[in-house]
Structure 1
Amino acid sequence: MNNPKISIITSVYNNQETIKDAIDSVLGQTYKNVEYIIVDGGSSDNTVTIVKSYGDKISKVVSEKDKGIYDGLNKGVKLATGDVVAFLHSDDIYASSTVLEDIAKAFQSDEHLDGVYGDLVYTPKDDTSKVLRYWKSKEFDETLLAKGWMPAHPTLFLKREVYEKYGGFDLSFKIAGDYDFMLRVLSAGIKVKYIPKVLYKMRVGGESNKSLKNIILKSQEDLRALRKNGVGGYGSLFIKNFSKIGQFIRK
């Protein structure tokens, strides 16, 4: 795949505090064959004003009420025209200005490649230079799925045809739709490659762990995703949650 077009999608709702950081992270990439799509869920703060201030630097902007983040991501995928599709959440940034260049090189090196992923770090909301947690991935092996392993979804760049073949996010999931999606496509035998470097910086305080209620819901949905995709059950869920302990590092 020569000079692949990469579509980056941000689904946002009322996030005027950090949406500019996300936008600047995409627009500051050294790789320029990029389509940037922002899907706003009908924000009532200054999010849309900030987005529109960038003018035609942002390829496509949609602002309308939706059914949550996965609905927004699905809308973005349908609008995407790139060879490769990925997501940058509105709280987050890419780890460097050369991330998309690295992704493009990976796809250029193997025309049969369906996807690429890497490592992710969690940072404090007010200082993305600090690392609170390091999600280090590994080379893909389908047997790892039953052991609760998965790549960090925001680092996963997939050919658009993967979405066309296997579908988007299941809206019956409120928190674990990305996990369900990854189990679906990775267990189907797509070819993916691991890039052993940090690609993505995620601010702490995401939807899945902001309250005890959401933590419980996340576990329930993870179990449903495992069973739905025929990958595992309670044992897989236990290993998945237990393995996260190793992601925390001391400073």
Structure 2
Amino acid sequence: MKNFKQIHRTSKPLISIITVCYNAVDFIESTFISIKEQNFQDYEYIVIDGGSSDGTLEVIQKHQDIIDYWQTEPDQGIADAMNKGLGHAQGAYILFLHADDYFHTSNSLSVVADFMKKKPGYDVYACNILYGSNPNLSLQKPRGFNAWINIKTGIFHQGALCKKTLFDTIGLFDTHFKIAMDYDWFLRAYLKKASLKKTYLVLTVMRDTGISSKTDQQSLLNRFTEEKKVHEKNCCNSLWHYIYLVWWLIYPKYRLFFLAIKNKLAAQPS
């Protein structure tokens, strides 16, 4: 393992920003630049690399001035890397900003920090994000913690600041999941009665280039498999057991039907 650590801060920061990456040379510099441009300083920055071989390490080293800790070594997937980052985090709140993500504006952190100070004490602050690729960005609003999260996630980790102590209460990310680890974690938080405050603020931009953004048939099937496992793992009573049976009987067929129509239309000559 190769790592780098700056001198410890004299006090713990409000926010720990964690970036996990692997062969992310195409996008990670814009992540770093968006952090460097922030006009808010009460944060630490942690980068966990999975052993990149495409030039990512050179970009990380180039921006070491904004990084409090980074390491590079093989891992067991995104959840494992996120857990490694948590192991080094000292902030009161955690924000995962991966190599496909970047802050919306230079005052993104300062605005959300002001909101947190005005509405203190929540376990999770859920912000809006923009999704897609410039110039085609769509506003995505979190649904928050309600019964619907038992079916589908409605919180974006790029827009969620989560209290560090909440990880002590409900545990880390489940490394059995390669895609739905954040859905599993937020569902566990909801079932443990964690408090959440939604905001109208746009915190970050999420590119449509990550593993969870793929919409081809195989990617959808992989995501359905993991989401079904999340349901099986966290099913809390017999009522939800039967709801899940009906959901997984209907939902995949519905999604694949519309995917087939979309592909057919795309294949037609213009």
Q: Is TM more than 0.5 here?
A: yes
Aligned counterpart in structure 2 of residue 59 of structure 1, from 53, 68, 84: 68
Greater C-alpha radius of gyration = 2
Aligned counterpart in structure 2 of residue 38 of structure 1, from 40, 47, 53: 47
Paired position in structure 1 for 2:136: 130
Q: For residues 189 and 151 of structure 2, what CA distance do their matches in structure 1 show?
A: 16
Specify the code of the residue in structure 2 equivalent to 1:144: W
Paired position in structure 2 for 1:249: none
Matched, 1:204 2:213: no
Secondary structure (helix, strand or coil) at the match of 2:45 reads: strand
Q: Deviations over 1:189-243 (max 9, x none)?
A: 111110113222111132134343221011111111122112642555667997x
Paired position in structure 2 for 1:27: 36
Secondary structure (helix, strand or coil) at the match of 2:194 reads: coil
Is residue 209–residue 215 contact of structure 1 (8 Å, CA) maintained in 2?
Answer: no
Is residue 127–residue 159 contact of structure 2 (8 Å, CA) maintained in 1?
Answer: yes
- How many residues get paired? 236
- Percent identity reads 29
Specify the code of the residue in structure 1 equivalent to 2:184: D
Measure how far apart 1:4 and its partner are.
5.5
TM-score where L is the length of structure 2: 0.80
Matched, 1:227 2:236: no
Is residue 145–residue 190 contact of structure 2 (8 Å, CA) maintained in 1?
Answer: no
Paired position in structure 2 for 1:213: 218
TM-score where L is the length of structure 1: 0.85
- Structure with bigger RCO (C-alpha 8 Å, 6+ apart): 1
Q: For residues 124 and 76 of structure 2, what CA distance do their matches in structure 1 show?
A: 27
Specify the code of the residue in structure 1 equivalent to 2:208: V
Paired position in structure 2 for 1:248: none
**Pair 153,54 (structure 1): closer, same or farther in 2 beyond 3 Å:** closer
Q: How do 1:68-147 and structure 2 match up within 5 A? A: 68-124=77-133, 127=134, 129-131=135-137, 133-138=138-143, 140-147=144-151
Secondary structure (helix, strand or coil) at the match of 1:61 reads: strand
Q: For residues 32 and 225 of structure 2, what CA distance do their matches in structure 1 show?
A: 33
Q: For residues 152 and 239 of structure 1, what CA distance do their matches in structure 2 show?
A: 21
Is residue 112–residue 201 contact of structure 2 (8 Å, CA) maintained in 1?
Answer: no
Measure how far apart 1:149 and its partner are.
4.7
Q: Deviations over 1:160-184 (max 9, x none)?
A: 1011221111111111111111101
Aligned counterpart in structure 2 of residue 172 of structure 1, from 154, 172, 176: 176
Matched, 1:159 2:168: no
Q: For residues 115 and 201 of structure 2, what CA distance do their matches in structure 1 show?
A: 13
Is residue 148–residue 236 contact of structure 1 (8 Å, CA) maintained in 2?
Answer: no
Secondary structure (helix, strand or coil) at the match of 2:136 reads: coil
190-199 or 208-217, which moves further after superposition?
Answer: 208-217
Specify the code of the residue in structure 1 equivalent to 2:218: K
Is residue 92–residue 201 contact of structure 1 (8 Å, CA) maintained in 2?
Answer: yes
Gaps of 5+ in 1: 246-251
